[in-house]
Amino acid sequence: MSYVGPDFEPPQPRRSRRGPLTVAVAALVPGALAGWLVWQAVADDSGDGAGPQQTQGAASSAAGSPTPSSTGDDKDASPTSSAPAAPTPLKGKVVVIDPGHNPGNFQHTAEINRKVNIGTNSKECDTTGTATNAGYTEAQFTLDVSRRLRTILQQQGATVKFTQNGDRSWGPCIDERAEIGNKANADAVVSIHADGAGAGQRGFHVILPGTVHDGAADTRPIIATSRDLGERIAGNFARETGTAPSNYIGEGTGLDVRTDLGGLNLSTVPKVFIECGNMRDSQDAARLTSGAWRQKAASGISDGIVSFLRG
Ligand code: ZN
């Protein structure tokens, strides 16, 4: 029976696990630090082991005494497992979302025009981004989609970090945006944008890092994983939004490879950009300015990330 397990099995593996670990740490590290580490090791061990055991123990004793054996366990298991409800497939995963540009960039042209090194060459720290003909800015769009995306990813258990959240007056610079993903050791990074192409040019595309090995830039380790991430985002974005891939970049694939973007060149973790549509085209703009459509966009991007992270 299942309640035999918690009462009977755990003490032995717990003791044997804790024993060598404690001895090894104590032998390696002298003084107070050793004490702290041993405490950490024991605390971690008992924390990992005791949580479920206590739950199971309490559950089995509570359910076990009034009701006989397996029926009691089954009855107990169903409400306990359905109570948390939402599955958290992204637990332990770190996703960095990079909302392109910054609503304040328009007022800080001197700061954002400063050149930064992107490995291959120098480039402006950041740009203002584009806007629809009616004045809805790309920076507003990217923050909105990013926040929607964050909500969905957090609901699935991911740890989500932003490069900016409208909480600073400009930037950050493209090299710092890359650095934020790198320092977070992100499992996936997506940079959210919308394009500023000519009227009649429509649809979305995902930008993948091309091979760059120059100066501080070396994309070779992230080429394959970024492509995988990008293909999954493109497919799910198309399905979820019902939007066709770009008719002006990528020859209908919805994918483009670039070696001139600092945010990709300097990344050491899987990263892509998505241009969700063309703000300068009236039909695309109608979509980009719709909250309902942006929710679908966030959902499609999220589905791609989840698919990538689950493998
Ligand atoms: Zn942009």
What distance in angstroms lies between residue 186's CA and the mean position of ligand 1's atoms?
21
Ligand 1 ion: Cβ-proximal residues, 5 Å cutoff: 100, 129, 193
* Within a domain: 11: no
Residue 5: pLDDT over 80: no
* Within a domain: 214: yes
Q: Which of 291, 301, 262 is nearest to 115 (CA)?
A: 262
Burial grade of 242 (CB within 10 A; 0-12, 13-18, 19 or more): exposed
Residues 151 and 40 reside in one and the same domain: no
* Within a domain: 62: no
Residues 270 and 139 reside in one and the same domain: yes
- Helix or strand (DSSP H, E) at 232: helix 223-241
Range of the domain at 269: 94-310
What distance in angstroms lies between residue 93's CA and the mean position of ligand 1's atoms?
26
Residues 169 and 274 reside in one and the same domain: yes
Residues 23 and 156 reside in one and the same domain: no
* Within a domain: 82: no
Residue type, 243: T
Place of tokens 């610079």: 173
- Helix or strand (DSSP H, E) at 39: helix 31-64
Q: Is the peptide bond before 172 cis (omega within 30 degrees of 0)?
A: yes
pLDDT tens readout for residues 207-250: 999 999 999 999 999 999 999 999 999 999 999 999 999 999 99
Of 57, 74, 106, which residue sits at a domain end?
Answer: 57
Q: Catalytic: which of 138, 231, 240, 275?
A: 275
262 and 195 in contact (C-beta within 8 Å)? no
Number of domains, the chain = 2
Decide: helix, strand or coil at residue 207.
strand
Mean pLDDT for 52-75 is 38
What distance in angstroms lies between residue 10's CA and the mean position of ligand 1's atoms?
54
Whole-angstrom CA distances from 170 to 75, 105, 111, 179, 201 are: 56, 5, 8, 17, 29
* Within a domain: 63: no
* Within a domain: 167: yes
Q: Which of 103, 127, 131, 129 is nearest to 288 (CA)?
A: 131
Residues 44 and 102 reside in one and the same domain: no
- Which CATH number is 189's domain given? 3.40.630.40
* Within a domain: 30: yes
What distance in angstroms lies between residue 215's CA and the mean position of ligand 1's atoms?
25
Residues 114 and 216 reside in one and the same domain: yes
**Could you give the percent of the chain with pLDDT greater than 70?**
73
Residues 120 and 35 reside in one and the same domain: no
pLDDT tens readout for residues 78-128: 445 556 667 888 999 999 999 999 999 999 999 999 999 999 999 999 999
Burial grade of 23 (CB within 10 A; 0-12, 13-18, 19 or more): exposed
Residues 242 and 168 reside in one and the same domain: yes
Residue type, 176: E
The DSSP symbol for 106 reads G
Whether 124 is catalytic is no
**pLDDT value for 311:** 83
Burial grade of 276 (CB within 10 A; 0-12, 13-18, 19 or more): buried
What distance in angstroms lies between residue 129's CA and the mean position of ligand 1's atoms?
5
| Long-range contacts, stretch 110-115, CB < 8 angstroms, 24+ apart | 111/170, 111/171, 112/170, 112/171, 112/173, 114/173
Prediction pTM value: 0.74
Residue 297: pLDDT over 80: yes
Residues 226 and 304 reside in one and the same domain: yes
205 and 254 in contact (C-beta within 8 Å)? yes
* Alpha carbon distance 212, 228 (integer Å): 18
Residue 144: pLDDT over 70: yes
Residues 159 and 299 reside in one and the same domain: yes
pLDDT tens readout for residues 10-24: 333 344 444 443 434
Residues 183 and 242 reside in one and the same domain: yes
* Within a domain: 3: no
